[in-house]
Amino acid sequence: MSTTNQPALFDLPVPSGSGGNGRPSQAASGGGSAPARPPRGAWTPNGREAAPTAFPLAAVETAGDADPMAGLAPDWAEALAPVAGKIRSLLAELAAERDAGAGILPAPGNILRAFTRPLSGVKVLLLGQDPYPTPGHAVGLSFSVDAAVRPLPRSLGNIYRELKADLDIDPPAHGDLSAWADQGVLLMNRVLTVEAGNAGSHRGRGWEEITSLAVEAVASRKLADGSHAPLVAILWGRDAQSVVPLLHGAPRIESVHPSPLSASKGFFGSRPFSRTNMLLKAQGATPVDWRLEAVR
């Protein structure tokens, strides 16, 4: 589906069969109840799911003056090596601005948080635009907030509303989406930082080059038989939809952003969660359990 200036609802239903890369050629509609909780693991070169490898966030959070790349999952560090110098330079610039009194979000230890879980385990790309500009909200995972945040951001409230309508899943009181990330949902923003209170303020500073490479790394993974590893891209809003040429034909689900300014223009009713699971199953992958348990 093209990403024009008109609000995009989502791609047309997937026909039987698959595209030339062994992937469904376009997104499918679908519904039904939430799936049973699936096993969690990473895709290995032979296409089977292996036990996940833990990469603690603390390695990033406590890095201090250490190399920021040291806290990334090893396969992410390798994939992002061509822009490692750019990452270090950009983080140094932001640190200097922060030292001068600027409010930079998220906290330094969370800026690269999306890359602390293995690249090999990614099966869904859920791409946002930039972090929440409200202090205390941005945590380095797109659309997610800390479990203690109240009230929830309105965009996240709209995501929960659609989750209920799509899969009849009652959302939790909290906004911590890390359980999705644990299952291979890459919660990444197009731009990884923002000035507090100024949405979109860090567009054009260099993050787009870095996240473009990350998208290409996800989309270009191959299995032992030469086919692409299972992947579904969920693209909400024009910023996210700008990566379509980088997806190597991976099936995608597009709509307007869940922001209160646009959600009623195509996000509500788009059923992204059930459709993502249909597309994953069509590629032989385990569906995502979209339920979010209460955080204790």
Q: Along the 296 residues of the chain, how does pLDDT read in single tens digits?
A: 333 333 332 233 333 344 445 566 444 434 444 444 444 344 443 343 443 333 334 334 434 457 889 999 999 999 999 999 999 999 999 999 999 999 999 999 999 999 999 999 999 999 999 999 999 999 999 999 999 999 999 999 999 999 999 999 999 999 999 999 999 999 999 999 999 999 999 999 999 999 999 999 999 999 999 999 999 999 999 999 999 999 999 999 999 999 999 999 999 999 999 999 999 999 999 999 999 998 76
Domain boundaries, the chain: 74-283
Q: pTM score, two decimals?
A: 0.81
Q: Pick the catalytic residue: 11, 75, 130, 289? A: 130
CATH number of 74-283: 3.40.470.10
Residue 189: per-residue pLDDT: 97
Q: CB neighbours (10 Å) of residue 172?
A: 16
- Per residue, the 3-state secondary structure of the chain, as one string, reads CCCCCCCCCCCCCCCCCCCCCCCCCCCCCCCCCCCCCCCCCEECCCCCEECCCCCCCHHHHCCCCCCHHHHCCHHHHHHCHHHHHHHHHHHHHHHHHHHCCCCEECCHHHCCHHHCCCHHHCCEEEEECCCCCCCCCCCCCCCCCCCCCCCCCHHHHHHHHHHHHHHCCCCCCCCCCHHHHHCCEEEEECCCCEECCECCCCCCCCHHHHHHHHHHHHHCCECCCCCECCCEEEEECHHHHCCHHHCCCCCEEEECCCCCCCHHHCCCCCCHHHHHHHHHHHCCCCCCCCCCCCCC
What does the alpha-carbon distance between residue 261 and residue 263 come to, in Å, rounded to a whole number? 6
Phi, psi of 183 (to 5 degrees): -100, 10
Residue 31: per-residue pLDDT: 41
Residue 23: per-residue pLDDT: 64
Residue 295: per-residue pLDDT: 79
Active site residue 130: yes
What does the alpha-carbon distance between residue 158 and residue 179 come to, in Å, rounded to a whole number? 18
What does the alpha-carbon distance between residue 60 and residue 68 come to, in Å, rounded to a whole number? 7
